[in-house]
Amino acid sequence: MVRTVRRLLVTILACAIPAAGPAALEWPIAGGVPALTFGSRRAGRFLPSMAVGPAGAPVRAVSPGEITFLFDGDKLPSGLPCPLGGIVAMSHPDGMISVYGRMERGSLPFYLRSVAAGDILGRAGTSGYFAGREASFTLFDRVKRQYLNPQVLLPPVRDDRAPAVRGVFLAAGGRTYPLGETRTLRQGTYEVVADILDPLSAPDAAPRAPYSIRLLIDGKEVVRYLYDAARAEDGRLRFFGPARRDSDSYFLDDGRIRLGQFLLARGRTTLVLLVSDYAGNEKETGGVLLVE
Amino acid sequence: MRDVDERPNRLLYAIFVLVFLAYFFVAAVPLRRELSLHSDWAADVSRDSELDGASASGPLYTFYWGGRYGAVSEDGARRWSRGASFDAAVSDSLILPYARESRLLTAVTPSGAPSISIQAEGWPFFRAGRLFLVSPEMDSVSEYSRDGKLLWSYDFPFKIVDFDASATLAVAGTLDGSIECLDAQGRSVLSFSPGGSRLEMILGVALDPRGEAIAAVCGADRQRFVLLVRKGGSFKVQYHRYLESDYREPVTVRFTGDGRFVLFRQSEGIAVYDRESGRESVLPLRVQSFELAADSSRGLEYLFTRTARTGQVVCFEPPTRIIFSYTLPGGDLWTRYLGESLYLGSGAVLGKINISEE
């Protein structure tokens, strides 16, 4: 039942966002499995795009549009380094901009202007900062000036594996208390962090982000991260959800996700962490603490 | 009878002298300056070498081209060079070689000694002597102090495709067609979308060296040149013009050293916009990109450009009078104008050319 409701929510969202955007998108790499999803940790902060591979595979336009910017190299003519490598940017009639980065040198279509969905734009992943791995794919809503999670709009990837929660931890005063192993805690404010990844069906170690994270304390929802969109506000990239987490403070150095600081009052406290992926698979983890 | 004949001659003579004097003092154009170029020295820097005579006095000028970085003294006698694993950012006082997937940047001084270290992911670059780092996704820029401390970091609304800075401002152009301007503390002072085109993007943006004006080439169908000028605390559009071009790639935009002229790439050459007269003219150079260096004592500009196979140095008096042009073999070119000398690096050779006026 819960899974059905989740799938329904994802479907509604996938329909709601394209109200200002495309009706349907095609995967930039056919049969593509994202190496990194929107919100994954990369370069110490969350990624407002996705990485799709493998390197060398043809990269296709996800929907019809017009090419607005092409660049083939690692340094722009002005001398600005270009860690995004080879770039193709497209403007779509519905106000979306798609950007394909880290494309192979010499593979870009400098002769093209109008592009149909599925047209080849180049080959993936041999330029820029993460050369030799994947292409970068970004979707941006020009009207709202926000990044969109492409995976909400792309055809679903077969996935019957639930997200993995490798641990939930409470930290205070320089000490960390793993939930489940800890029975009693002293009253006070604790930072809750979680070690979460979405393994998809294919077994690989890429730390993909889930689709949503909810934390309930004593049945009350205190955190709700929804990986649907992000935008820069006042020079800081933030998730565009109720939590509005700052990109720089979202992850700990070891990749665990910060869920926030909470005051635990005396008595029995129940913590429940609900994590779901794009296919609606859900993982529930929790524990009961006696706060003294 | 004789007196009557001489009077008109004297009158004509006086008129001639007056006209000549008037022409000489009012309408005469000075003779064109003649610049002569003398090769001072040339050195092979293709092999790794360390500095000889490090204790000797005199500045060392940093360089980077063709995958090699180093520094050289004015007389060329003292020099060193090393190979960069991927690329290097160079300023007068620091060289930052970096790997493609760098996480730790270690700078060296002009004498080759290790200097500051910066732990960050991204690629470094210098503008107006300031040290910046652009993030791997090209959506964020950070500024670092000369001792390696993070001064500020700014996440732009979208990916940037050009960036320029003066001593007090920084400006970026985004892929969704916005010009974003930051102050010295990394706070937004301007977010401006020129608009006016069916497709909106910034192809090139530049900041006047004094931070008084911003120029950009933007949009497609139709493409525009836009000039913003600071008035009070904000920037206002002073001039704009629709262009014939339909570029979908980076377009170089640069101010001359005194900020009076703006140069930008056009299909017929390099357009030169004079901010004082409001006139636009064309330097007949069909190049994709270029850099400028000012010879302020002579009122000249040096334009450096490169193609896959050659590099070119063009000395011109703005707006468009070309004084000389110099073509070098090898597409990867390093150029610097210092004092009255031109330092050139091309292929494996670094050299100095003295420029004198005759």
Alpha carbon distance A64, B41 (integer Å): 57
Q: Inspect the interface and report whether the beta carbons of B187 and A99 lie closer than 8 Å.
A: no
CA-based nearest distance B138→chain A, Å: 6
The pair phi, psi for residue A8, each rounded to 5°, is -65, -40
Contacts of B248 in chain A (CB under 8 A): 67-70, 113
B236: confidence class by pLDDT, cuts 50, 70, 90: very high
* Helix, strand, coil fractions of chain A, as percent rounded to 5: 10, 45, 45
Question: pLDDT of A158-206, one tens digit each?
Answer: 888 899 999 999 999 999 999 988 889 999 999 999 999 888 765 555 6
Q: Inspect the interface and report whether the beta carbons of B137 and A136 lie closer than 8 Å.
A: yes
Considering only the beta carbons, identify the residue of A44, A80, A231 that sits closest to B121: A44
Alpha carbon distance B251, B265 (integer Å): 6
Contacts of A97 in chain B (CB under 8 A): 158, 175-176
Mean pLDDT score, A214-240 = 91
Q: Has residue B341 got a pLDDT over 50?
A: yes
pLDDT computed for residue B53 by the predictor:
62
A102: confidence class by pLDDT, cuts 50, 70, 90: very high
Q: Which amino acid is at B42?
A: A
Tokens of B132: 């910046």
CA-based nearest distance B146→chain A, Å: 19
Dmax (CA) for chain B in angstroms is 102
Contact predicate B83/B68, CB 8 Å: yes
Q: Has residue A22 got a pLDDT over 60?
A: no
Cβ atoms < 10 Å from Cβ of A224: 14
Contacts of A50 in chain B (CB under 8 A): none
Q: Inspect the interface and report whether the beta carbons of B137 and A84 lie closer than 8 Å.
A: yes
Q: Inspect the interface and report whether the beta carbons of B123 and A91 lie closer than 8 Å.
A: no
Alpha carbon distance A225, B343 (integer Å): 56
- Give the highest mean pLDDT range of A245-259, B102-116, B302-316: B102-116
CA-based nearest distance A136→chain B, Å: 8
Cβ atoms < 10 Å from Cβ of A141: 19
Q: Has residue A12 got a pLDDT over 60?
A: no
Alpha carbon distance B52, B61 (integer Å): 15
Higher pLDDT, A151 or A19: A151
pLDDT computed for residue A208 by the predictor:
81
- The HSE-up count of residue A145 (CA atoms within 13 Å, CB side) is 18
Contacts of A145 in chain B (CB under 8 A): 157-158, 176
Domains of chain A listed by start with CATH number: 2-153 (2.70.70.10), 164-291 (2.60.40)
Alpha carbon distance B115, B97 (integer Å): 12
pLDDT computed for residue B332 by the predictor:
78
Q: Inspect the interface and report whether the beta carbons of B136 and A128 lie closer than 8 Å.
A: yes
Q: Inspect the interface and report whether the beta carbons of A78 and B122 lie closer than 8 Å.
A: no
Q: Which helix (H) or strand (E) holds A259?
A: strand A257-264
Alpha carbon distance B293, B336 (integer Å): 7
Q: Inspect the interface and report whether the beta carbons of A235 and B249 lie closer than 8 Å.
A: no
Mean pLDDT score, B271-280 = 96
Mean pLDDT score, B343-348 = 87
CA-based nearest distance A27→chain B, Å: 20
Mean pLDDT (chain A) is: 86
What's domain B167-288's architecture?
7 Propeller (2.130)
Alpha carbon distance B210, B275 (integer Å): 14
Tokens of B306: 């490169």
For chain B, the distance separating the N- and C-terminal CA atoms, rounded to the nearest angstrom, is 55
CA-based nearest distance A185→chain B, Å: 36
Alpha carbon distance B70, B54 (integer Å): 13
The position carrying tokens 């006086």 is: B14
Alpha carbon distance B341, B346 (integer Å): 16
Contact predicate A278/A159, CB 8 Å: yes
Q: Which helix (H) or strand (E) holds A103?
A: strand A96-103
Tokens of A266: 């005396």
Q: Does A221 touch chain B (CB under 8 A)?
A: no
Question: pLDDT of B78-104, one tens digit each?
Answer: 899 999 999 999 999 999 999 999 899
With b meaning 16 or more CB within 10 Å and e meaning fewer, what string describes A1-19?
eeeeebbeebeebbeebbe
pLDDT computed for residue A195 by the predictor:
93
B49 contacts: CB under 8 Å, gap ≥ 6:
B70, B79, B80, B81
Rg, chain B, Cα only: 25
Considering only the beta carbons, identify the residue of B100, B163, B291 that sits closest to A80: B163
- The HSE-up count of residue B218 (CA atoms within 13 Å, CB side) is 29
> Alpha carbon of B347 to those of A16, A97, B42, B86, B332: distances in Å?
57, 41, 12, 17, 7
Cβ atoms < 10 Å from Cβ of B299: 13
Q: Has residue A14 got a pLDDT over 60?
A: no
CA-based nearest distance A35→chain B, Å: 15
Q: Does A112 touch chain B (CB under 8 A)?
A: no
A137: confidence class by pLDDT, cuts 50, 70, 90: very high
Higher pLDDT, B285 or A24: B285
Alpha carbon distance A155, A192 (integer Å): 34
Contacts of A110 in chain B (CB under 8 A): 249
Rg, chain A, Cα only: 20
